[in-house]
Amino acid sequence: MKTYNMRASEIQKEWWVVDAADQTLGRLATEIARILRGKHKPTFTPHLDTGDFVVVINADKIAVTGNKETQKIYRRHSGYPGGMKESKLAEVREKHPDRIILNAVKGMIPHTSLGRAQMKKLKIYASSNHPHEAQQPKELKLG
């Protein structure tokens, strides 16, 4: 038996829509990362971008467990001395609810040029409206 390697010309990408309302953040992020990487397909090839596009709606209604709403801290640094900025999850949810899911998925994707290409296929919207109806996305059912 020979291992099948997919060619870049054979890749077929689909569109999926995920409703994040009342979904647990980590469990949702792992499923999104799996689809972005293409691991749900039998033709998964680690060195090619075989994944599909994912549209996430209702990102502002994502659920977290425990005390993460007040205790989880997002940190970023400007690169200058004293440039550390910190935000709690509740503050990020108010201003930029899409960044909660973006940061969770970004940590599960390889930190390489291939990973950056895969992250470009993730579209996150705070409400239930999205401009990707023309692509006819399939609804992704999460357990």
* Residue 31 CA from chain centroid, whole number: 8
Amino acid at 121: K
Residue span of the structural domain in which 58 resides: 14-129
pLDDT tens per residue, range 78-120? 999 999 999 999 999 999 999 999 999 999 999 999 999 999 9
| Domain CATH code at residue 45 | 3.90.1180.10
In a domain, 143, yes or no: no
pLDDT at 6: 86
In a domain, 51, yes or no: yes
DSSP 21-86: TT-BHHHHHHHHHHHHHTTTSTT--TTS----EEEEE-GGG-B--TTHHHH-EEEEE-SSTT-EEE
In a domain, 135, yes or no: no
Give the residue with greater pLDDT, 141 vs 53: 53
CB atoms within 10 A of CB 140: 18
pLDDT at 2: 84
What is the tally of structural domains in the chain? 1
Mean pLDDT of the region 43-66: 95
In a domain, 142, yes or no: no
Query: For the whole model, what pTM was predicted?
Result: 0.93
pLDDT at 27: 97
